[in-house]
Amino acid sequence: MSDYRIQGATGDWEVVIGLEIHAQVTSNAKLFSGASTEFGAEPNSQVSLVDAAMPGMLPTINGECVRQAVRTGLAIGAEINKYSVFDRKNYFYADLPQGYQISQFKHPIVGHGTVTVDLESGGTKEIGVERIHLEQDAGKSMHDQHPQYTYVDLNRSGVALMEIVSDPDMRSPEEAGAYVTKIRTILRYIGSCDGNMEQGSMRADVNVSVRRVGDPLGTRCEIKNVNSVRFVRQAVEIEARRQVDIIEDGGTIDQETRLFDPVKAETRSMRSKEEAHDYRYFPDPDLLPLEFDDAFIEAARDSLPELPDAKKARFMEALGLNDYNASVLVAEQVSAAYFETLVTAVAKATGKSEADVAVKASNWLTCDLFGALNKAGISITETPVSAEQGAGLLALIEDGTISGRIAKDVFEIMFETGKDAADIVEEKGLKQVSDTGAIDAIIDEIIAANPGQLAQYRAGKDKLIGFFVGQVMKATQGQANPGVVNKLLKPKLDG
């Protein structure tokens, strides 16, 4: 259980959060028409007469959108409803030419499922998903282009959305953010939505209420269209605070729709109360019930890749990664894919098993490569060092050709130039010296040159061994194998 509390003047309050995530289904054509879904086209160029709601036009469902909704349901272990119904949700707005949105009300395509989210404390929490249904997106209104007019573009009108409705299971801004992150990760893994929140292909309506711990649920407010994980967290925090202040001042919360303004760090009411919504849902008479068989569901199931939770468990159990590294690597499918290519290539180059090289590979990837990518402000898809090249570097450390310290320098050059590790080591003469004869000779020179330190060492200051190791490394420009140096040095110092 979360122990996140809002501290009010009269005591602690608990926040209760439920989320409705709208995820644009990855498809070429719209949910009920053959118009394109591509982003960024000329206004109204991707609009069929169905999307424009011309009289007599009839909707025909896009099978791919159905398949993607089923895959999404299966990915969260949800019940799949072989029989579902499209309803009309009626409301009046300029970017909704039909005067209703085709949605699913009573009989959604996907029933109850569960998502496991990772928390910063290292623990996990199960969040229920009440349902997923298919519905149409609306057009886009632009209010700032003309002093008297709102401009309406219907390109988005009719694009398929999945509305993913959670149970009110979240109790802190962190949990809400972690849930959105996890849903996005799952959608990206299975490819049913690109999860791009900046372009609006995934957005969240955040329901927030507050209560005394143990009390029944309070009245909730819905914060519409929050479009980043960070904003979800901020919106929850700010809205919960607002509600606590009102209740403690003796007021009551009105159930309403609000807007989050990240610049002013506030939420504010969106609609006047007079416009209280009355959607008058009824089954769409233009559409028969949506039905499919078990074979359709099984084919959808067979098309699913390994999901993030399963992948994480495998990384931990079969490859010995710790929880943190495994979580970081599975969060994005490209990172996980990079890691798997890396491990396979290192194992192949060194003749060791994948389990033997995986932990070092994960450390190098999450610290060195991710660190460098972060610093350069680029994503892993743009990495100048490929997984094969990374494996080349790790193999050189593994077989003793270079030391871990030299590897850091080599990696820096790789990251800048995109060259292979072996070539850099060759060009710059960075090979680690493991030749005992050569190191032996250097050690003798160093000992001879530092009689004072030797005497102190022999008098009991055995920490001075560090000084000698340092001198040897310096003399070899860091290329001596530290293991060999230590092994040879100690008996000589001890006399």
Partner 1 sequence: MSNIDRATVAKIARLARIKIEDDKLEPLAGELNNIIGWVEQLSEVNTDNIEPMASVVDAKLRWRDDKVTDGNKAESVLKNAPNAEYGFFAVPKVIE
> Residue 245: which residues within 8 A CB-CB, separation 6 or more?
8
- CB closer to partner 1 out of 32 and 364: 32
Candidates 20, 64, 205, 222: give the one binding partner 1 (CB under 8 A). Answer: 64
Q: How far apart are CB 269 and partner 1 at their closest, in Å?
A: 11
Q: How far apart are CB 95 and partner 1 at their closest, in Å?
A: 9
Residue 215 as a binder of partner 1 (CB under 8 A): the answer is no
Q: Which residue in 314, 337, 334 sits closest to 326, CA to CA?
A: 314
Residue 87 backbone zone (phi > 0: left; psi -120 to 50: alpha; other: beta): beta
Residue 149 as a binder of partner 1 (CB under 8 A): the answer is yes
Cα–Cα distance measured from residue 50 to residue 188, given in angstroms and rounded to the nearest whole number = 29
Residue 98 as a binder of partner 1 (CB under 8 A): the answer is no
Neighbour tally for 4: CB within 10 Å: 17
Compute the half-sphere exposure of residue 147: CA atoms within 13 Å on the CB side of its CA: 0
Residue 92 as a binder of partner 1 (CB under 8 A): the answer is yes
Q: Is 196 helix (H, G, I), strand (E, B) or coil?
A: coil
Site residues for partner 1, window 104-143 (CB under 8 A)?
141-143
Candidates 118, 135, 137, 153: give the one binding partner 1 (CB under 8 A). Answer: 153
> Residue 491: which residues within 8 A CB-CB, separation 6 or more?
none
Q: Burial code of 325-359, b = ≥16 C-beta within 10 A, e = fewer? A: bbbbbbbbbebbebbbebbbbbbebbeeebebbbe
Region binding partner 1 by CB under 8 A among candidate stretches 23-31, 202-210, 390-398, 423-431: 23-31
Candidates 90, 124, 225, 363: give the one binding partner 1 (CB under 8 A). Answer: 90
CB 268 within 8 A of CB 261: yes
DSSP conformational letter for 413: H
Cα-based distances in Å from 408 to 144, 289, 392, 393:
52, 61, 13, 10
Candidates 63, 305, 470, 483: give the one binding partner 1 (CB under 8 A). Answer: 63
Region binding partner 1 by CB under 8 A among candidate stretches 60-68, 304-312, 315-323, 337-345: 60-68
Structure tokens at 423: 């070539």
Residue 7 as a binder of partner 1 (CB under 8 A): the answer is no
Residue 29 as a binder of partner 1 (CB under 8 A): the answer is yes
Give strand ranges (E) for 212-307.
Answer: 221-226, 257-261, 266-269, 282-283, 290-291
Residue 34 as a binder of partner 1 (CB under 8 A): the answer is yes
Region binding partner 1 by CB under 8 A among candidate stretches 72-80, 186-194, 279-287, 415-423: 279-287
- CB closer to partner 1 out of 126 and 261: 261
- CB closer to partner 1 out of 52 and 304: 52
- CB closer to partner 1 out of 101 and 362: 101
Q: Which residue in 490, 481, 482, 478 sits closest to 447, CA to CA?
A: 490
Region binding partner 1 by CB under 8 A among candidate stretches 59-67, 328-336, 349-357, 372-380: 59-67
- Per DSSP, helices labelled H in 249-302 are 294-302
Radius of gyration of the chain (CA): 30
Candidates 24, 48, 101, 103: give the one binding partner 1 (CB under 8 A). Answer: 48
Cα 403 to the chain's mean position, in Å? 34
Region binding partner 1 by CB under 8 A among candidate stretches 64-72, 108-116, 202-210, 436-444: 64-72
Region binding partner 1 by CB under 8 A among candidate stretches 74-82, 84-92, 163-171, 256-264: 84-92
Residue 33 as a binder of partner 1 (CB under 8 A): the answer is yes
Q: How far apart are CB 41 and partner 1 at their closest, in Å?
A: 8
Judged by the rule CB under 8 A, the positions of this chain that interact with partner 1 are 27-29, 33-36, 42-50, 52, 60-66, 85, 90-94, 99, 141-143, 145-146, 148-154, 278, 280, 283, 287-291
